[in-house]
Chains A and B, each alone.
Chain A
Amino acid sequence: MSIPDPDSIKVILATDCGSTTTKAILFEKVGDEYRQTFRGEAPTTVEAPFEDVTRGVLNAAQEVEELSGRKILDENGGFIKPACGKDGIDVYISTSSAGGGLQMMVAGVVRRMTAESAERAALGAGSIVMDTIASNDRRPPHQQIQRIRQLRPDMILLSGGVDGGARSHVVELAELIAAADPKPRLGSTCKLPVIYAGNKEVQEEITRILGDKTDLDLVANLRPVLENENLGPARDRIHDLFMEHVMQQAPGYRKLMSLADVPIMPTPGAVGLIIQNVAERKGLNVVGVDIGGATTDVFSVFDGNFNRTVSANLGMSYSISNVVKEAGLENVLRWVPFEIDERPLRNAIKNKMIRPTTIPQSLSDLIIEQAIAREALRLAFIQHRDFATTLSGIQQERSISDAFEQSGGGASIVSMMKLDLLVGSGGVLSHAPSRCQTALMLLDAFQPEGFTTLAVDSIFMMPHLGVLSALHPQAAAEIFEKDCMIYLGDCICPLGNARPGKACFSLRLESSDGFVLERELSYGELALLPLGTGEEARAVCRPERNFDFGAGRGRVVEKVVRGGEVGLIIDCRGRPLTLPQEALARTRQLAEWMKILEIYPADRFESVVKAYGGVAERSV
């Protein structure tokens, strides 16, 4: 791989090889700036009968070629390099989650300490964690061994013990792994890669136990002292092994690696990188979510701390039935503004599970699918909040002001009041027929507090930009701002609850051209104010005494707010958001909110709601 000088890069082709589709995107330098220009896609070809990932890549590239008029492919199925006029590209880069992505098993001594740190390292590197084995996970050793044997991970990350600390537990874990004699998922003739990132003083013992049976790698302890994590070395090694072992075994990947100018990244790893870059560059607290067909990934950066979680089996096609199972049908239906029979609905959900590529044709189908999406996002975010915590097991230094604070180590670092930017990605969010639908799904599922900017990935290009950021950070940043991020608008959401109709806060909005709007907001109200993309206004919010904008209950807050494709959203529906219990009141309330945000075309919405019992007709 010879990487050209960043200044000479004018045309970049990036692909993301997903489980089902390979997406190719062309980035070009237009004048003085980098822009995303064309996009093509083709079915991924990792499986039989093709068993060569590069065929899907070349097909997707061919679509880009046809759309752009730029000749990209040569006669031998390679890329024309470097770019010259309307021919060729300068760089080819790629991410991949095809063939199940990177699947790992992690082990640590204490579940909430070293095992959790190992899990964080694996997730941060873009892997799916199949299971976490810990000395105190309440499973007897023979069950742990059985589990290691059953799951055939791509690699295992073993940690445990601080440097110079206890030895026997981590050695015992190594003995369990050795007894299980695990085999890798791909390449049955290879030894399973095991990364040891635990107490450095038992490296010799670990080598004696696992050295012959596995492909053992020793790296620096990921928890050298209780107070600190050192995830970098383990994460880097996971990336290396992903390239050396996993990718080498997947069909066609050797060829793909030879085509790529920088190492191929696991897709979630690339998305995590771009989220981290945005947070760092702008100094923001960011939450990003990518809701796919099978899984939902949540990324967060709070005060510089990055976390990622993968909620396996929370997705909108392959796993749609599992979302309903996990959330409960009643929780899904609370977002639907009409009443529907349970039996045909359950059958329809199962039919989507077995035919996952279908799309909602009718509006009622779309409304139900978006209700399920709210629950998938909500559940994935709960898992993320529980995982993204301060380190457990640390002696807390407390000042007198902390005397009444009960939170110790292990408290979630995700604070909705501190959240600045919420970015959605994935089909149901990026390709919703209206951006207002995306905004309301994000609001309902995440329930941001205070002032938060809502945004969506326009065409799912965060993976491509993530890998690009490793090669050309400036180009990635430019394209991210101009073509990837669609700003939906800021939302203002006071924290607190009251009786419906009670005064919530008064808002004074001053636009830069001197226009002033003053409005009294009541509890339960949802309002949309026109503030377009690129427009700003100064908002003065005076909350009633039981509402808070982050400065304390009843305290005035002033802030500059920005508009977007949807506008400025004022959400006084309470935090936590509570819906009326009684069905008629609930459906009436939902219909009203949906109408205010105009998330569905009014005439179609009326007729759908009417067809299911006419609740909206009675209500509005």
Chain B
Amino acid sequence: MAHSYTPGLKVTRCTLLKRRRLLPIKGRVVVNRGDMVEPETVVACTELPGDVFPVNVANLIGVSPKDVAGAMLKQKGEAVEKGETLARSSSFFGLFKSEVAAPASGIIETVSGITGQVIIRGAALPVEVRAYIKGRVVDVFPEEGVEVETVATFIQGIFGVGGEVSGILHVTSESPGQILSEDLISSDQRGCIVVGGSVVTAGALRKAVECGVAAIVVGGIDDRDLRDFLGYDLGVAITGSEELGITLIVTEGFGTIDMAGKTFAYLKENEGRLVSVNGATQVRAGVIRPEIVIPIATAAEEICYSAEEPVLNEGNLVRCIRTPYFGRIGRVTALPHELQSMESGAVVRVLEVQFENGEQCILPRANIERIEEK
């Protein structure tokens, strides 16, 4: 049987999931191997070197750079408080004095005799890394972080904004095609991960932020609504650091698109569970897609691993990801070897698909993604 390689998003009912939780620089790991952790548990912490404040003392007190060291009231390595006099010069037999105050509290790191510049290093910035998902610590990397493992229902979205949050899963839409409108959002959903259907409206997004909803998971969003919500037009899909008061995960794409039936079903059957989501997306080399992790009470040994490779075969379920059939779902009926000419004139590798309504069509292989069925 003919087959070919194809990418696709993971939508899995039960999988063993591991997440490395690492510090940006070396620090201290505060949990042990085997510990059970909640999403908010701090697993490692460190301190980043403080901000740097350069002060051109020579210019400010009117001395030559080589005389700055002599004018300093505090020396290299000493602490200064914001507003404290850092250096002083006097002229005309002490009649006129010039002073410079420290712009920030910190430690004097350098005093340059060439440029007359003094550099103050501010207080260290504490950094904490949390577990993000509920699970067990299975590995500890000394001074760096840990690996947390959980058995979970795992769903990848296609695009998201906002970072890591956790909350109780709340499915508001009755079907994958229902629009998530303002009236479906209420203050009862504070801290929840709210699931909608085909699209979220701009009004619903705004109200969700007002009501303190932690995240929204939905099939689609209109580009204009996203632009209004972000306050700018997104040029490249590298997200995750937005501070919008909510995380948004889109499972299908831009526009009004029914959420894939399987995705919606998995979310529906896990309603009420504690889930972790991350909107961070990076569509570049080293691709990162947003994710929904729903830890479930299954022992690791009981997992039925999916042995499927990302290979496309006849009979596979696929989703069209480009016009003119964007969003439609069908089954592969043939994978011809020969290149074929499309309406655009492009001569490409193709596949034949039969849609759910029986309609048959030929598509470029690049314009579909496979939907896993397990």
Contact = CB atoms under 8 A, between A and B. Distances in A.
Nearest to A188: B25
Contact of B364 (A47, A142, A321, A359): A359
Contacts of A359: 322, 344, 346, 348, 364, 366-367
Interface string A160-181: 0000000111011001101111
A181 B51 CA distance: 11
A318 B342 CA distance: 23
Contacts of B116: 168
Nearest to B289: A354
Given A175-B110, A351-B322, A366-B346, A145 B54 contact: yes
A356 B283 contact: yes
A20 B224 contact: no
Contact of A168 (B65, B233, B285, B286): B65
Given A167-B114, A318-B283, A353-B236, A358 B366 contact: yes
Contact of B54 (A47, A176, A357, A433): A176
A102 to B, nearest CB: 14
A516 to B, nearest CB: 35
Given A168-B115, A172-B117, A179-B110, A353 B344 contact: no
B255 A347 contact: yes
| Residue of B114, B234, B284 with highest tally of chain A CB at under 10 A | B114
A46 interface: yes
Contacts of B223: 343, 346-347, 349-350
A319 B235 contact: yes
Contacts of B65: 168
Interface in B85-144: 109-110, 112, 114-117, 119, 121
Contact of B345 (A146, A205, A355, A600): A600
Interface string B43-70: 0000001011110000000000100000
A366 B367 CA distance: 14
B236 A343 contact: no
Contacts of A356: 283
B326 interface: yes
Interface in B195-226: 222-224, 226
B347 interface: yes
A100 interface: yes
Nearest to A356: B283
Given A325-B235, A361-B343, A171 B114 contact: yes
B345 A363 contact: yes
Interface in A56-108: 98-100
Contacts of A346: 223-224, 254
B25 to A, nearest CB: 8
A46 B285 contact: yes
A168 B121 CA distance: 21
B30 interface: no
A46 B284 CA distance: 13
A216 B351 CA distance: 55
A179 B363 contact: no
B272 interface: no
B355 interface: no
| Residue of A167, A355, A356 with highest tally of chain B CB at under 10 A | A355
Interface string A354-390: 1111111111011000000000000000000000000
Contacts, number: 168
Contacts of B51: 142, 146
A362 B7 contact: no
Interface string A286-320: 00000000100000000000000000010000110
A600 B344 CA distance: 8
Contacts of A141: 54
B346 A360 contact: yes
A318 B284 contact: yes
A326 interface: yes
B285 A98 contact: yes
Contacts of B324: 361-362
B237 interface: yes
Given A167-B114, A354-B237, A145 B52 contact: yes
A40 to B, nearest CB: 15
B334 interface: no
Contacts of A19: 284-285
Contact of B344 (A167, A178, A180, A366): A366
B151 interface: no
B344 A365 contact: yes
Interface string B298-342: 000000000000000000000001111010000000000000001
Nearest to B286: A47
B254 A350 contact: yes
B112 A171 contact: yes
B236 A361 contact: no
A360 B321 CA distance: 11
B158 interface: yes
A142 B322 contact: no
A501 interface: no
Contacts of A354: 158-159, 237, 253-254, 281, 283
A145 B49 CA distance: 12
A313 B283 CA distance: 12
Interface string A423-434: 000000001011
A534 interface: no
A31 interface: no
A401 B233 CA distance: 49
Interface in A117-175: 141-142, 145-146, 167-169, 171-172, 175
Interface string A3-33: 0000000000000000110000000000000
Interface in B222-249: 222-224, 226, 233-237
Given A98-B285, A361-B363, A181 B49 contact: yes
A441 to B, nearest CB: 14
A321 B348 contact: no
Contacts of A202: 114
B344 A361 contact: yes
Nearest to B222: A347
5 contacts: A359-B344, A359-B348, A360-B322, A366-B344, A433-B346
- Across the A-B interface, the 8 shortest Cβ-Cβ residue pairs: A433-B345, A322-B235, A19-B285, A366-B344, A350-B254, A347-B254, A141-B54, A347-B255
Interface of A: 19-20, 43-44, 46-47, 98-100, 141-142, 145-146, 167-169, 171-172, 175-176, 178-181, 202, 205, 294, 313, 318-319, 321-322, 325-326, 343-344, 346-363, 365-366, 431, 433-434, 600-601, 604
Given A172-B115, A351-B322, A361-B346, 20 more contacts: A98-B285, A100-B285, A145-B52, A146-B51, A168-B116, A169-B115, A179-B110, A179-B121, A181-B49, A313-B236, A351-B253, A354-B281, A355-B322, A358-B322, A359-B344, A363-B343, A363-B344, A366-B346, A433-B345, A601-B345
